[in-house]
Structure 1
Amino acid sequence: MGIRAVVWDVDDTLFDYTAADRAGMRAHLAAEGLLERYGSAERALALWREVTEAQWARYAAGEVTFQGQRRDRVRVFLGEELGDAGADAWFDRYVAHYETAWALFPDVLPVLDALAASHRHAVLSNSSLHVQDRKLRVLGVHDRFEAILCAAELGVSKPEAGAFHAACAALRLAPDQVAYVGDHPLIDGRGAADAGLLSVWIDRHGVDGRGAADAGLLSVWIDRHGVYTADDAAAGPHRIASLAELPALLGADTRFGARPTFR
């Protein structure tokens, strides 16, 4: 039957989370008078990223709630035993700066337009519906997706097969009729492949990897910032450098990239 739908990750796949997070935290630390505390802005941003990844992993493993990981990110980063109200207030001030930097990657709208007639679309994120629903509305793409599923409400997170199968069930399609595009080679890539979905790897920086084709599947993963090594990445014989290549990879009947015929 072929691939009939594409399920998308959001952060660092459709939405440039890393750039927005860095810009937002830099502005927040400046407003809070904290940049000098960490020696330099780069050291502060690197620490924030490290703390974020560690606390997000705890949330994904079910060790803490979504709001709890936000509070713990603040406490660990500041090295202070703040109460819940204090941690929430500090994080909310950061979010105000972070949201001003929200943006889609430039290749997102063109590929969604190109695949609109040929494929159905949904979102599967390890975040919460409250956060991602609003984000997609602000970014102007909410109506592009038939379903938006998030781990906080599902009760199961990627890379568990149940998360991917929930997205397939929402579309009423079998896993082998669904492609999944995400940025993390293990949580997204290996998880989707193990769940029986088509995995796709977008390699924007020419980083070689080992394929999710361990299971004979096509692999497309995003390594926008060179974070993952070849040993970490799920490998595959097919690789794209831009989402502009995705329609051809899926065999979509589109005129993506064609010159307009109107005057």
Structure 2
Amino acid sequence: MSKVQLITFDLDDTFWDIGPVIINAEMTTRKWLEEKVGEIEWGTLQSFLELRNQLAKNDQSLNWDLGKLRREIFRVKLSPIISNSKELEDLVNQAFDFFLNKRHEVVFYDGVIDALEALSTKYELGVLTNGNADIKRLGIDKYFNFSISSADVKSNKPEEGHFKKALSNSKLLPQEVIHVGDHQINDVTGALNAGMHAVWFNKDAAEWAQNYNQPTTFSDWYNYQKIEELSI
């Protein structure tokens, strides 16, 4: 077995719980916008999801560029209220900036920072995310050699884009890389399909639901040494 030299990580739901973060960002941005323009017809959750799906169907890039998708949603919701195109675009961009700031108000799981500090002294570290969190904004960029988002590779995990780019950036063989993430398909299956090792972060004690053996698993970042077992 080749010696592991690089460990890559997912972000959302691997380093923090993303659900409450997005809900807070959504609600506070809506309130901020309505303070500026008055009441906005946001619709139900179902209609919101349908709008997302329709927008992504019309423009495939919205499947992997979440910033562009978010701006387009704001544009759709604000255009019935603001007729001036420049005013509309200015407010869309301001709303997105406001949302993105709130999106970065994350609470790291206990032990994450300690684990990154320890692992970064032994391995190269990278980020492979389908989201748009910015490790510099989060103050953790000092631990990582690179960060790859879906917008960077124009695709989402489990497709090969993130994993191929990580190998290209690091100039390593797949067997010299471990990928760590919470999603059984996007992270674990995607990494294994790319020839890498995979470690499943299973905070909520979910059942393993894939048709192959469960990989090395841990549920608490204070037990991050589980990751290193694959490097021995």
Q: Same fold (TM over 0.5)?
A: yes
Instruction: With a CA cutoff of 8 Å and minimum separation of 6, indicate the structure with the bigger relative contact order.
Output: 2
TM-score, normalization by structure 1: 0.66
Structure 1 residue 123 and structure 2 residue 101: aligned?
A: no
Aligned in 2, Cα 1:157/1:147: closer, same or farther, shift over 3 Å? same
Q: Match for residue 218 of structure 2?
A: 240
Q: Match for residue 4 of structure 2?
A: 3
- Alignment check: 8 A CA contact 1:55 1:73 kept: no
> For 1:1-263, what aligned pairs fall within 5 Å after superposition?
1-31=2-32, 32=34, 50=49, 54=53, 62=61, 66=65, 67-74=67-74, 78=77, 85=89, 86-99=91-104, 101-127=105-131, 132=133, 135-211=134-210, 214=212, 236=214, 238-251=216-229
| CA RMSD in angstroms, aligned pairs only | 3.7
> What is the Cα deviation at residue 119 of structure 1?
2.1
Aligned in 2, Cα 1:47/1:114: closer, same or farther, shift over 3 Å? farther
How many angstroms apart in 1 are the aligned matches of 2:209 and 2:64?
A: 33
Residue type at the aligned position of 1:71: R
- Alignment check: 8 A CA contact 2:25 2:102 kept: yes
Aligned in 2, Cα 1:197/1:54: closer, same or farther, shift over 3 Å? farther
Identity %: 21
Unaligned runs of 5+ in 1: 215-234, 254-263
Q: Match for residue 227 of structure 1?
A: none
- Alignment check: 8 A CA contact 2:71 2:92 kept: yes
How many angstroms apart in 1 are the aligned matches of 2:154 and 2:40?
A: 40
Residue type at the aligned position of 2:21: A
Task: Give SS of 2:172's match.
Answer: coil
CA deviations over 1:115-152 (Å, ceiling 9, x no partner) = 2233220112234xxx54xx322322101111222332
Task: Give SS of 2:179's match.
Answer: strand
- Alignment check: 8 A CA contact 1:118 1:252 kept: no
Aligned in 2, Cα 1:90/1:154: closer, same or farther, shift over 3 Å? same
Task: Give SS of 2:224's match.
Answer: helix
Q: Match for residue 258 of structure 1?
A: none
> What is the Cα deviation at residue 103 of structure 1?
3.2
- Alignment check: 8 A CA contact 1:151 1:163 kept: yes
CA deviations over 1:48-80 (Å, ceiling 9, x no partner) = 6x479758976996456734312233356x496
> What is the Cα deviation at residue 6 of structure 1?
0.7
> What is the Cα deviation at residue 247 of structure 1?
1.5
How many angstroms apart in 2 are the aligned matches of 1:52 and 1:241?
A: 35
Unaligned runs of 5+ in 2: none
